[in-house]
Amino acid sequence: MHIEAFREYCIAKKGVTEEFPFDEVTLVFKVMGKMFAIAPLERIPSQANLKCDPERAIALREEYDGIIIPGYHMSKVHWNTLYLEQLPTSLITELIDHSYDLIVASLPKKVQAEWQTL
C-alpha cells in the first residue's frame, strides 16, 4: 500500500482529522482528537505507526519479522511500525481499523455519543 492510499483510507473514517502537530513531515490521523495513526512522510520505504492490542502486537511482530516492528518513537507495548509496501493491503486496512476501533472504544462516553451522531 502506498502512503497516498493509506491516507485516503484513514481520512475516510468517521470523525477523523489529519494534522502535522510534530513537524511538517509527520502526518497524524486522529479520531475525535485522539491519535490512531502516524505516517512519517519522509520515510523510504513508506511506514506508519498504528495502535495495537499488546498481545496481538507481539504476534504480528513474530509473524511479520522485520516488516512489523515495535512502534518507532512510541510505546513499544501499544504501537507497531509497519512497512506499508511489504504487507498485503488487506492486512494494513485491518490494522488501521483495529487501531481506530481501540481509540474509539477508549473515548469518554460523552465523546463516543458525539462520534455516533456524525
Mean pLDDT estimate for the chain:
95
Where in the chain does DSSP place strands (E)? 16-19, 26-31, 34-40, 47-51, 68-70, 79-83
- Eight-class DSSP state of 85: G
Selected residue with higher pLDDT from 22 and 76: 22
Show me where the domains of the chain are located. Answer: 3-86+99-106
Domain 3-86+99-106 has CATH 3.90.1150.30: yes
Q: Specify the pLDDT at position 75.
A: 83
For residue 70, give Cα distances in angstroms to 19, 54, 59, 73, 106: 23, 10, 11, 9, 21
- The predicted model gives 41-45 an average pLDDT of 91
- The predicted model gives 32-36 an average pLDDT of 97
- The predicted model gives 59-86 an average pLDDT of 93
Between CA 52 and CA 80 the distance in angstroms is 7
- Could you tell me the pLDDT band of residue 74, with boundaries at 50, 70 and 90? confident
